[in-house]
Amino acid sequence: MLVGSVLRRLLPNWRQPARIVVLAFALAATCGTVLLMLPVSSESGEPTGVVDALFTAVSAVCVTGLTVVDTPGHWSTVGEVVILGLIQLGGLGIMTTATLLGLLVSRRFALRLTLTAQAETKALDLGDARRVVRGVVSVSLVFELIVALLLAARFLTGYDYDLDRALYHGIFHAVSAFNNAGFALYTDNLMGFVTDPWICLPISVAVLAGGLGFPVWLELWRHLRRTRRRWSMHVKITVLTTSLLLVAGVAVITIAEWNNPETLGGFSAGGKLLAGFFHGVMPRTAGFNSLDMGEMESGTLLVTDILMFIGGGSAGTAGGIKVTTFALLAFVIYAEVRGEPSVHVFGRKLPATVQRQALTVALLSVAAVVSGTLLLLTLSPFRIESVLFEAVSAFATVGLSTGITPELNSAAHLVLVVLMFLGRVGPITLASALALRERTRRYELPEERPIVG
């Protein structure tokens, strides 16, 4: 009651869904920062500086994976558990809130939604929310448990870890992978396992699973149970675009780095294919790396920039503008090039409002990345290639880095903090706010066409 009263005074419209999401993530990041600043959270027993603690907390709760300090070297077990908790909280929070907002938007327009059998009302009732929360938690825990057991078994049998350490490392990396966080308990991330398929493949599968999104998994499950015979447009777009980007990313990165002696050049053909596949998956958006990103070719970094910016599926743990946004814009361009008066996708007409929302999310995201890159260039001595990569990685909540993050000053770290936070909550809140604010005009002004191009 007291908190609600204070919020009503400070923010009269705090009950709006978009504001609740922002406040929730800000509160989680603040609590995480305080916990990580405690002496017990560091290996040295000394308090961690506020900027380093804030950066790590935001990176964890926004499931990014960028780091300014060595995760296993700086943080104690308590600090690592705090980071793990923030990752889990952030991943569940994003999947739950994004799904609920999608449900709310769909109910707002009285449309049938894949999460419910029939959308008969325009309100989101408590039963729907409970089903969504239970579903998200169940999907997350099932994937995390399976991957954790596979990784623990490999650590136990292949690397002579004792049982407790194997389970701890298995759980940590499974949660980090499914939530697309990219935090690892090794100084070189996963470079020590570059040719180990029993480590790289389960983590890759977890990253892809988390990046698809809860609505997709629910509909696929219902399809298997034959309660739904036809895939929705959202599932078709998500699965198809993710598959195409995955194949293209793996192929381009593997080919570009095949003879690079600093990356794939020294491995066998099998090792090259495994490492190429792993690094084709990670821009989906998880920050794990089994190769030195700083030694990759310029073309590889550019392709990775593009894949990171696009990101994964809506209502999933991946970041970026989302594959649905990218695909819808591609369909709009295709229709315009063909001179068609409307946009059709998989036998359905795409509303003009959805087209404008996709364009708005994409262009504002471009503006955020460009602004962040300019600020980082001003605050650091590094080349634009590395700075752009860092900015895209932060905004798309990926966590991949060419290695310059720890070398940036505090001001640059704060710029990355803002980019991570905007990239995590921005696209979701913006898209839902645009949809919920839609209204009809009572009149139209005379039409006039400016010159384009």
* DSSP secondary structure, 151-198, as one string: HHHHHHHHS---HHHHHHHHHHHHHHHHTT----SSTTTTGGGTT-HH
Q: Output the CA angle 151-254-376, nearest 5 degrees.
A: 85
CB 431 within 8 A of CB 69: no
Token couple for 282:
């990670």
Segments making up each domain of the chain, as ranges = 2-118+132-436
CB 399 within 8 A of CB 59: yes
Main-chain dihedrals φ then ψ at residue 75, nearest 5 degrees: -90, 140
CB 393 within 8 A of CB 66: yes
pLDDT in tens, the chain (453 residues): 444 454 344 344 444 556 777 788 889 999 999 999 999 999 999 999 999 999 999 999 999 999 999 999 999 999 999 999 999 988 887 777 766 666 665 555 444 334 433 333 333 444 566 777 788 888 899 999 999 999 999 999 999 999 999 999 999 999 999 999 999 999 999 999 999 999 999 999 999 999 998 888 888 887 777 765 678 888 999 999 999 999 999 999 999 999 999 999 999 999 999 999 999 999 988 989 999 999 999 999 999 999 999 999 887 888 899 999 999 999 999 999 999 999 999 989 998 888 988 898 899 899 999 999 999 999 999 999 999 999 999 999 999 999 999 999 999 999 999 999 988 887 766 666 666 566 666 777 788 778 877
Computed over its alpha carbons, how large is the radius of gyration of the chain?
Answer: 22
CB 288 within 8 A of CB 181: no
Question: Which residues have C-beta within 8 Å of that of residue 155, sequence separation ≥ 6?
Answer: 161, 165, 166, 169, 170
Task: Report the interhelical angle of 50-61 vs 17-37 (nearest 10°).
Answer: 130
Terminal Cα-to-Cα distance of the chain (whole angstroms): 56
Its pTM stands at 0.88
Q: What b/e sequence results for 246-266 when a residue is b if at least 16 CB atoms lie within 10 Å of its CB, and e otherwise?
A: beebbebbbebbeeeeebbee
Helix (H, G, I), strand (E, B) or coil at 349: strand
CB 427 within 8 A of CB 316: no
Q: Where are the alpha helices (DSSP H) in 67-125?
A: 71-74, 77-108
